[in-house]
Chain A
Amino acid sequence: DAGVIQSPRHEVTEMGQEVTLRCKPISGHNSLFWYRQTMMRGLELLIYFNNNVPIDDSGMPEDRFSAKMPNASFSTLKIQPSEPRDSAVYFCASRPDRGVVDTIYFGEGSWLTVV
Chain B
Amino acid sequence: GENVEQHPSTLSVQEGDSAVIKCTYSDSASNYFPWYKQELGKRPQLIIDIRSNVGEKKDQRIAVTLNKTAKHFSLHITETQPEDSAVYFCAAYPGGYQKVTFGTGTKLQVIP
Contacts and interface: CB of A to CB of B under 8 A. Distances in A.
Contacts of A83: none
Given A56-B99, A106-B43, A42 B93 contact: no
A107 B43 contact: yes
Nearest to A109: B43
Interface in A30-65: 31, 33, 42-43, 45, 48, 50, 55-56
Interface string A11-31: 000000000000000000001
Chain A residues touching B, majority SS: strand
Contact of A106 (B45, B49, B97): B45
A43, A48, A95, A108 pick with most chain B CB within 10 angstroms: A43
A42 B102 contact: yes
B8 interface: no
Contacts, number: 45
A86 interface: no
Interface residues of B, number: 21
Interface string A103-114: 111111100000
Contacts of A91: 43-44
A102 interface: yes
Interface of B: 32, 34, 36, 42-46, 49, 89, 91, 93, 95-97, 99-102, 104-105
